[in-house]
Structure 1
Amino acid sequence: MKQHDNPGRRDWKTWPHYDAAACGFRGYWYPVTWSSHLTGTPAAFQICGEKITLIRDRGSAYALHDRCPHRGIPLSMGSRQFPGTLSCAYHGWTFDLADGVLKAVITDGPDSRICGKVRVRTYPVEERLGMVWVYMPIGAEQPHPIDEQLPEELVAHAFVMGGRIDPRPGNWRFACENGYDEGHAKYLHRTSMWRLFKAMPVWNLTRIERRDRWIYRVQEEQFWSADFPGLGTWSNRRWWKLRPAKTKASNIGNTGATSKVDPVIAAQEFPGFASVSMPGVLRIVYPKFIHYEFYVPVDAGSHRYVGVMVNFAEGLAALRFYAKYLGLIRWLFHGQFSAQDARMVEATDAPPERLYRPDVSLTSWRALAEEEYTRKLEAAS
């Protein structure tokens, strides 16, 4: 699909499943918190509009619906009174962490007759990439293996990673569309410290290419300045900014002629530096590392931003990258650069909307989501 194929949509009726997904798509794994942050004290979260509580017991992570069926008290207010259980703070209703079955009612004695007759919903949990992931099922379906959903290169190779998880206002779809958006980065981020010494083109000619479950933005031509009739010439080039030379690696993070691509990254043969997949996973490929964003739906008005930088290195090289991340990248990229996106996502008010040529990135993502979720619903029925 060429960038000049402009659908010009004003609403989202073309993508009914996407339109209805204000609280996210069910049937997927979502990262919730860092594994190191989860302890024996229950913690409250919300995913896809559902309130859950996470707790660690004897090394394993568990997720339960965050509501005691007795009087509706959040189980995240409770505590672990017996191994493998969680007790409500109000009357001591005690639930098995693995299956949610009521095992004891402390205030009704050891022979409470309601035991075994009540349960709370539990959710599948996995730990990957140093994070706790929760599966939000469609009905009673069984989860697919989490590795099938992760970016393939993260499953097959060793790496070092740095990142941050932030609660943010704004619908998760706006965040995902912002991440994959063709048009905004060259203008919005021209003032970011991350791009302080690197010029960015004014506009591109772009096509969208699909490979398996990912769609890629492939830049076919870049324009570094433009003459606007009756207005003048505009460019974000400045004397101190370097303009990268055009190379075969130009679709990997706008690299220059002297850049060397990490062998693991080069072996993936990504057709474009920006790609997206369900249920809202962004991948931005740089020569030496890859940036990923996971947009976790909380409710219709908020989401959790999960951003990670991955370098495929081991030993001292891994330590050097992690030190660089903590000392510089985390502040520049996951801080000031990403904060520019966050402000736009919070301010977005769509639909209605009037799209333009670069928005083929958005409509292609919506079409991918619609197709994939339709297939998932058919498989679950």
Structure 2
Amino acid sequence: MTGVEAPENSQVLPERPRAAGRQDWTAWPRYNEAGSGYRGYWYPVTWANHVTGEPTSHTICGEKLALIRDAGKVYALHDRCPHRGVPLSEGDQQFPGTVSCPYHGWTFRLTDGKLAAVITDGPDSKICGKLSVQTYSVEERLGLVWVYIPIGNEPVPSIDEQLPRELVENEGVVGGRIQPRGGNWRFACENGFDEGHAKYLHRTALWRLFKPMPTWNITSIVPEGRWIYRVQDEVYWEADFPGVGKWTNKRWWKKKPDESQISQIGNVGAGVKVNPVIAAQNFPGFASLSMPGVLRIAYPNFIHYEFYVPVDEDHHQYVGLMVNFETGVKRLGFYAKYLGAVRWLFHGQFSGQDEWMVRVTDAPPEKLYRPDVSLTTWRNLAEQEYGEKIAAAVAFAPAAPDRPVRERRASAARKTAQPATSTESANGASAPTAADAD
């Protein structure tokens, strides 16, 4: 010790500057909380011809479902037997119109989920009719099985109100792929509608081998009905970047783009004859998005749809459909072309590049740039629409039942209680009888 008191450390550390960019998604609280998806919508689950009399397991919006077909109709039940939690999808059908748990033979009706029989408890089982599992509304459209995931007790809307209008009003031939993928559904949805990624990420895709892509665009996002559209205001096929040089997507082997026109049907659809059904839709832009995460890309000869089906926080299901509206033998030609090449080029390697990016995306935090107006507009749309949907569903929430207040027993009554009988235990608790076992 020197006896000299050390001076106080008065050094003040400089305040760490706040990081530029968006640190979280709290500006969109419902979107921020929708890691497992939005309830109150129809979701495509699987191909219709994959659902048979043997139950199969699926997870949508965190809900575990068992799908089974009976007498030609598809049913969906919550995939958990209330007895011991065994998945009903592991069971089978022992009686028409039912599904049985493989553990003890608890058997549930497909129409309403009611417990109809307990095989290991005999025909007079007292628990029958007292329990049920949740059932879900099911529809078949476009060769797919769709299930409605409810918010609460709201009426189930018609699936035709949610499907793209042109798919309801017109017949078409459908080619598609369903694939489980890693990454949150929101990343997949934002990637699909993202303005900037296609021009750079997909420049190496075999699907674009002979097709040029712009270098950059100036884009507007235009709302129309329940959709938002990407509208190309200006298109630039090459550009000089100060200090680094010229960059272009043009190559000698690629088709030369018509730079005198801006196409709103596909990236390079200018001057190409458009299918009459597609032309009649008068889409403001070739890329559009709607809730609960449905992407639509309009090309001259077909429309491509992507449904980003939430599974949980870290997984989603990719449902990609390519729909052609030709008739007669031309439909067969399109389908043959799809199976022979397009499926592998478009829904394979091309879409696989998106899958790669979605799987490795880690946001927020994020630092957005000008083309990301497509993302922020989508988040605003999702926030507003789901807020309205929640408000509407609340109107159908059942009121809490009025329960009478139980009167407390008088202490005197307890003092005059009868002595324990032979069917009571020494501490006053009733011993189980045969009736109690039910």
TM-score by length of 2: 0.84
Q: 1:244, 1:254 within 8 Å by CA — same for their partners in 2?
A: no
1:1-381 matched pairs, under 5 angstroms: 9-246=22-259, 250-381=263-394
Matching residue's letter, 2:102: A
Query: The residue matched to 1:317 in structure 2 has which SS?
Result: helix
1:8 Cα deviation from its structure 2 partner: 5.2
Query: The residue matched to 1:115 in structure 2 has which SS?
Result: coil
Query: The residue matched to 2:84 in structure 1 has which SS?
Result: coil
1:265-304, Cα deviation, whole Å (9 max, x unpaired): 0000001000000000000000010000000000000000
Query: The residue matched to 2:283 in structure 1 has which SS?
Result: coil
Residue ranges of structure 1 left out of the alignment (5+ in a row): 1-6
Separation in 1, partners of 2:365, 2:79: 35
Matching residue's letter, 1:152: R
Q: 2:190, 2:375 within 8 Å by CA — same for their partners in 1?
A: yes
Separation in 1, partners of 2:314, 2:373: 25
Matching residue's letter, 1:376: K
Separation in 1, partners of 2:297, 2:256: 19
Quick one: structure 1 residues 249 and 155, their matched pair in 2 at CA, closer, same or farther if it must change by over 3 Å?
Answer: farther
Q: 1:244, 1:256 within 8 Å by CA — same for their partners in 2?
A: no
1:232-251, Cα deviation, whole Å (9 max, x unpaired): 11112111112321476701
1:133-161, Cα deviation, whole Å (9 max, x unpaired): 00000011121100000000000011111
Which residue does the alignment assign to 2:409?
none
Q: 2:194, 2:372 within 8 Å by CA — same for their partners in 1?
A: yes
Quick one: structure 1 residues 76 and 257, their matched pair in 2 at CA, closer, same or farther if it must change by over 3 Å?
Answer: closer
Separation in 1, partners of 2:271, 2:215: 23
Tell which has more relative contact order, 1 or 2 (C-alpha 8 A, sep 6+). Answer: 1
Q: 1:255, 1:287 within 8 Å by CA — same for their partners in 2?
A: no
Separation in 1, partners of 2:246, 2:310: 41
Separation in 2, partners of 1:165, 1:205: 33
Q: 1:296, 1:305 within 8 Å by CA — same for their partners in 2?
A: yes
Residue ranges of structure 2 left out of the alignment (5+ in a row): 1-19, 395-438
1:160-204, Cα deviation, whole Å (9 max, x unpaired): 110010000000000000000001000000000010011111110
Separation in 2, partners of 1:221, 1:249: 7
Runs (4 or more) in structure 1 with deviation over 4 Å come to 246-249
Quick one: structure 1 residues 43 and 247, their matched pair in 2 at CA, closer, same or farther if it must change by over 3 Å?
Answer: farther
Matching residue's letter, 1:67: R
Query: The residue matched to 1:338 in structure 2 has which SS?
Result: helix
1:216 Cα deviation from its structure 2 partner: 0.1
1:217-245, Cα deviation, whole Å (9 max, x unpaired): 00011111111111111112111112321
Q: 2:22, 2:367 within 8 Å by CA — same for their partners in 1?
A: yes
Which residue does the alignment assign to 2:430?
none
Matching residue's letter, 1:19: N
**Superposition CA RMSD, Å:** 1.2
Which residue does the alignment assign to 2:416?
none
Q: 1:105, 1:115 within 8 Å by CA — same for their partners in 2?
A: yes
Q: 1:10, 1:355 within 8 Å by CA — same for their partners in 2?
A: no
Q: 2:213, 2:268 within 8 Å by CA — same for their partners in 1?
A: no
- Give aligned pairs, total: 375
Q: 1:282, 1:293 within 8 Å by CA — same for their partners in 2?
A: yes
Matching residue's letter, 1:229: P
Quick one: structure 1 residues 10 and 243, their matched pair in 2 at CA, closer, same or farther if it must change by over 3 Å?
Answer: farther
Which residue does the alignment assign to 2:4?
none
Matching residue's letter, 1:150: L
Moved more, 220-229 or 297-306: 220-229
Separation in 2, partners of 1:231, 1:246: 24
Separation in 2, partners of 1:143, 1:246: 48
Separation in 1, partners of 2:80, 2:260: 56
Query: The residue matched to 1:253 in structure 2 has which SS?
Result: coil
Q: 1:246, 1:256 within 8 Å by CA — same for their partners in 2?
A: no
Matching residue's letter, 1:73: V
Q: 2:289, 2:295 within 8 Å by CA — same for their partners in 1?
A: yes
1:296-319, Cα deviation, whole Å (9 max, x unpaired): 000000000000000002221111
Rg larger for: 2
